[in-house]
């Protein structure tokens, strides 16, 4: 048996603007992860087992847009010495997927499953795979169900390092100067990223000059934030999060639930807070000192958070 796992992720700065070429910052969240086990036994077929979603099926019976099937179909021909999945050396293969990452909430659940599937299959067939290749396979799967994602999710999850990401450019990882405590508050409301991205596109189409100005401001915040993370200027980072959140509100991607959590975190002494990911629901993040984090966590629960993850970056 071979296994692999992949972390969740959060976007710290630059969501939505990243779609329009601005930089964004994202970090892996190892407190939650997707895990994949691959085993070969006697028998036939490629079986996918995902108990979390009640799935147990032979690969051939799954539609092209089933994300686990898409990841397996993309990866197997590349990692097998033979591209022929009916080859006699190829015995029954079972691919078991489990995940502790909440779904549709901006934590990269689907992408983490793809990355773990790719890594587990590559390891099982002794195929030495680079992070770039893992990332590009996962991107192809993300495209199946997200349309035209910027690529930030697959990149940060495949590289599993803090990332300064510009669409189409080689990913830049960077060092975090001083550890940061981030609280991730879940509104519990599933958030279809695709809809939020489409709505922002409509705004942009109606007034490109205005929105490109807003996106450029977000990009500037991202560049300052990278510097503040590298140099350990935590208070400054918090202010930049607040500024980024204001611009996301202008893009209409916040929601009442997110606003309550952001306000609750700030009132409890967080240094900054913002929504994270597509918005309209899903998760928000707050920056706090280690000592203050429990109080901020209580405040998030009191403001309606269904779940709070406390993670350390760097
Ligand atoms: O909802 P998430 O965390 O998958 O993030 C989406 C990020 C966007 O910038 C809104 C879209 C994208 O493709 O980058």
Which residue of 17, 149, 274 sits with most ligand 1 atoms within 8 Å of its CB, as the best mutation to test the pocket?
Answer: 149
Determine the atom of ligand 1 nearest the C-alpha atom of 107.
Answer: 3
Question: pLDDT tens digits, residue range 211-266?
Answer: 999 999 999 999 999 999 999 999 999 999 999 999 999 999 999 999 999 999 99
Which residue of 12, 165, 193, 276 sits with most ligand 1 atoms within 8 Å of its CB, as the best mutation to test the pocket?
Answer: 193
Determine the atom of ligand 1 nearest the C-alpha atom of 282.
Answer: 1
Distance CA 68, CA 73 (A): 9
Q: For residue 289, what are the CA distances in angstroms to 154, 161, 175, 201?
A: 29, 22, 19, 36
Strand 92-99 and strand 24-41: pairing? antiparallel
CA 125 to ligand 1 centroid distance, Å? 32
Strand 55-58 and strand 180-186: pairing? unpaired
Q: Which residue has the tokens 């296994």?
A: 3
Determine the atom of ligand 1 nearest the C-alpha atom of 17.
Answer: 9
Distance CA 280, CA 283 (A): 9
CA 18 to ligand 1 centroid distance, Å? 8
Q: 84 pLDDT band (50/70/90 cuts)?
A: low
Question: pLDDT tens digits, residue range 187-215?
Answer: 999 888 889 999 999 999 999 999 999 99
Entry pTM: 0.92
Which strands make up the sheet holding 180-186, listed edge to edge?
272-276, 283-288, 180-186, 307-313
pLDDT at position 41? 84
Question: pLDDT tens digits, residue range 48-76?
Answer: 999 999 999 999 999 999 999 999 999 99
User: Of 31, 99, 25, 27, whose CA–CA distance to 67 is shortest?
Assistant: 99
Q: 3-class SS at 303?
A: coil
Give the chain's end-to-end CA distance (angstroms, integer): 32
Distance CA 285, CA 288 (A): 10
CA 149 to ligand 1 centroid distance, Å? 7
pLDDT at position 86? 55
Give the DSSP letter of residue 130. -
For ligand 1, residues with CB inside 6 Å are 11, 15-16, 18-19, 106, 149-150, 152-153, 193, 197, 277-278
Its sign, for the CA torsion 222, 223, 225, 230, is positive
Question: pLDDT tens digits, residue range 12-21?
Answer: 999 999 999 9
| Radius of gyration in angstroms for the set of CA atoms belonging to the chain, rounded to a whole number | 20
pLDDT at position 105? 80
pLDDT at position 146? 74
**153 an active-site residue?**
yes
Determine the atom of ligand 1 nearest the C-alpha atom of 167.
Answer: 14
Complete DSSP assignment for 149-163: --SHHHHHHHHTS-E
Residues 99 and 113: beta-carbon distance below 8 Å: yes
Longest dimension (CA), the chain: 64
Which one of the listed residues 153, 242, 246, 256 is annotated catalytic? 153
Question: pLDDT tens digits, residue range 112-123?
Answer: 999 999 999 999
In the chain the domains, ranked by start, together with CATH numbers, are: 2-165 (3.30.230.10), 176-313 (3.30.70.890)
Question: pLDDT tens digits, residue range 143-189?
Answer: 887 777 899 999 999 999 999 999 999 999 999 999 999 999 999 99
pLDDT at position 149? 86
Distance CA 159, CA 42 (A): 35
Residues 9 and 153: beta-carbon distance below 8 Å: yes
Round the average pLDDT of the chain to a whole number and report it: 94
Q: 306 pLDDT band (50/70/90 cuts)?
A: very high
């Amino acid at each position: 048996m071979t296994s692999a796992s992949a972390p969740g992720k959060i976007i710290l700065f630059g969501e939505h603007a990243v779609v329009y070429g601005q930089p964004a910052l994202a970090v892996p969240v190892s407190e939650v992860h997707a895990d994949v086990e691959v085993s070969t036994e006697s028998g036939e077929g490629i079986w996918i087992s995902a108990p979390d979603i009640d799935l147990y099926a032979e690969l051939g019976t799954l539609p092209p847009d089933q994300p686990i099937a898409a990841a397996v179909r993309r990866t197997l021909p590349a990692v097998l010495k033979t591209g022929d999945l009916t080859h006699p050396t190829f015995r029954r293969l079972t691919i078991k997927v489990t995940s502790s990452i909440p779904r549709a909430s901006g934590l990269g659940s689907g992408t983490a499953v793809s990355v773990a599937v790719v890594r587990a299959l590559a390891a099982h067939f002794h195929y030495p795979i680079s992070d770039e290749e893992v990332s590009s396979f996962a991107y192809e799967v993300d495209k199946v169900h997200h349309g035209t994602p910027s690529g930030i999710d697959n990149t940060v999850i495949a590289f599993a390092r803090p990332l300064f990401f510009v669409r189409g450019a080689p990913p830049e990882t960077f060092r975090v100067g001083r550890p940061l405590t981030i609280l991730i508050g879940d509104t519990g409301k599933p958030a279809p990223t695709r809809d939020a991205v489409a709505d922002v596109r409509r705004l942009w189409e109606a007034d490109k000059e205005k929105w490109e100005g807003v996106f450029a401001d977000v990009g500037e915040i991202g560049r300052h934030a990278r510097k503040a993370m590298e140099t350990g200027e935590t208070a400054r980072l918090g202010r930049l999060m607040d500024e980024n959140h204001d611009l996301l509100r202008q893009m209409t991607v916040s929601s009442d639930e997110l606003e309550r959590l952001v306000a609750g975190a700030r009132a409890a002494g967080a240094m900054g807070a913002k929504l994270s990911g597509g918005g309209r629901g899903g998760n928000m993040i707050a920056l706090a000192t280690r000592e203050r984090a429990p109080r901020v966590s209580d405040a998030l629960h009191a403001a309606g958070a269904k779940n709070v993850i406390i993670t350390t970056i760097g």
